Structure 1
Amino acid sequence: MQQFLDFEKPIAELESKIDELRQMSDPEGANIAEEISRLKDKADKQLAALYARLSAWQKVLVARHEQRPHALDYISGLITEYVPLAGDRHFAEDSAIVGGLGRFEGMSVMIVGIERGSDLQTRLTHNFGMAKPEGYRKHQRLLDLAGRFGLPVLAFIDTAGAWPGIDAEERGQAEAIARSIEATLSVPTPVVATIIGEGGSGGAIALGAADQILMLEHAIYSVISPEACASILWRDPKQAVVAAGALRLTAQDLLNLKLIDRIVPEPTGGAQRNPQETIKRVGEKISIELAALTKVEPAILRARRREKFLAMSREIIS
């Protein structure tokens, strides 16, 4: 069953009416069929108009929608012969970061993703997509394998941020994130990262220092969540709506700032309305990027990747 956000209430009412008409005793009757067609056309137009003018805060809500496809959905939909790998070989397995070996369109690749779960049980299993140091060290291990065997890396990012608990800090959370960024910048093979939902803080950029950064149309990417930003600046989480606009966290803002490379259009009404089509579109974009990147020499690839992110910092400082 489709779950509606608060701002989608008019659409929800129309679709509820359509469902009622379909459940009537004679749904094939000319009058009822005509009314269903009229209401469906109206709902489709309203949905398209609504999603064409979403505010920054509304995009935050869409990016967090629990029915959007998650990292494991992309892996299942795009990767064949997937073999998951676990553990950081130092402390423990972290289920927030998933990854392993597989084939993308017949090409051997290394896959890494941040999985936040789709229901209460899976969210608890994956710690709501908030990785601990062992997760980032597992990521580093997988990138090391990718470099050794010449495998391109595909990353799928969806996290509110790294786990902020005391246990993570005791085990070197900041160092682990920094090492993951360094590992991503240093791997001698192509890296394509896709922000599929929420790209939060260092927890996201740890996997996102890629040759090409793709971002779904209604995803978000920010150094801090709007709620946390509002709490710091105004000591009032209710100001999150204002903070969302100021943070410039939408795909459109980030493309203008040259902090991402491509926007992947979502189906009308967002990825949550048609997950399979969304996964297909992401796969098509990744295929295009990999075709170009695999032709570049490893040394040039790595040097260009590093310069790309140095240029971002110079632009921000200036």
Structure 2
Amino acid sequence: MKTLFYSAIALSLFFVSCQKDGNSPSTPPEAEKFPVRFSVTDFDRQVTDLDSRKAGGQDLSNARDSLGNAIQHLHYIAYNSSGNLVSTKYQSLATNNVEFGHITDSLPAGVYSIVLIGSSPVPATIFYSASDFGQARLDFKDSNGQLLKIPDTYYKRVTTMVGPNSKLPDSSILLQRVISSIEVRIADALPADSINVSVSHQATRFFFNRDQSSDGYDIRYLSKKDAKTYGDYVLFTEIPSTVIITALDRTTGAARVKTVYNVSCYRNKKVVLSGNMFSNSDTSGFKISVNDQWDDNGDPIPF
């Protein structure tokens, strides 16, 4: 009996020893990380050819204003070659005004897709996919499917290699607009008039891996800027839109409707439609102009 007891103990110790020697879990060492730096700075010199909103205090003889006046929020996103999200950073000009535009990070060796998004006056709405870069995007719909207002939005995607034998990434990034502007000016409108303006085929998403807008086309109603002007930023799309202007007659209350077909929006350009809604003359039709300087003084061209 004693022999059987001691044999059982020996066998138990043997199994315990095997588990310690061959099957104990171990924590792999963390991968070595390497510093990276991206700069979206020197706005006045780099982006003077993007737009001309003629902000206060600028030289009006130069129709182009600077990115320094255009961007107040900056997002940084890094995806690895497997499509996994590895890092995000956010800066606000209001709280990061000294280092605003300088992004520093440390990443394990590998190839990365780096996305930088600047916007104003509010942060851009971004959908992060933790494991699928193909689904990462700007998304201008809320959880209830309602369209969100699109801010003035700039974007750039770069691919960079990080590793011990790679040159330390220190890239100066030039952001470019991914939106256009559409504006409708009703010359004979009065403050009390009831008017709405809709634009069809408006994209609501911009995918980073394709650098383009697609999917989710909707009708967008333009915001009223003043008694005569309606407009908003829209995502660039290659599909032409239909603009419908509806106004209630001042005397009868009946709807007056004017439709402008095949209105194309262009990245970094303002499209302006101008005309009358309440005149019955032959000259009341709407005209369209495209301004590549983001200015308010383009000459209308008959459409």
Tell me the TM-score range normalised by the shorter chain.
under 0.3
Q: TM-score, normalised by structure 1?
A: 0.24
Indicate the structure with greater strand content. 2
Indicate the structure with greater helix content. 1
Q: TM-score, normalised by structure 2?
A: 0.25
